[in-house]
Amino acid sequence: MRSRPKVAVTIPAELLGAVDHLCKRSGATRSAVFERALSSYLTEADRVGRARRYTAGYRQRPERAGEQRAALVRALEALADQEWDA
């Protein structure tokens, strides 16, 4: 069984009220709601961080003109076999 330490946080009363309302509607516990919210927040923060690192890397080393042409040719070849609606 994984460890589940307790933590105390201070949040605005309105936010706690919204959490309690959600708990009542969904049948989830406060802990479950906060765990899910924090997990979603951390997942999104990780996604944003990876996107920023990718963008920074691309800016440091963008593809060369020859690589751009090759990618365009491959994309057009791949799309040529697709049926398109009129």
Per-position pLDDT tens, the chain of length 86: 688 999 999 999 999 999 999 999 999 999 999 999 999 999 999 999 999 999 999 899 988 989 999 999 999 999 988 887 76
Q: What is the pLDDT of residue 81?
A: 83
pTM: 0.66
- Counting Cα atoms < 13 Å in the Cβ hemisphere of 52 gives 6
Q: What is the per-residue pLDDT for 86? A: 60
Q: What phi-psi label fits residue 27: left (phi over 0), alpha (psi between -120 and 50 degrees) or beta?
A: left
Domain ranges of the chain: 13-80
> Residue 1's pLDDT is what?
67
C-alpha 37/C-alpha 85 separation (Å) is: 41
Q: Please report where in the chains the tokens 């509607």 appear, as a residue.
A: 25
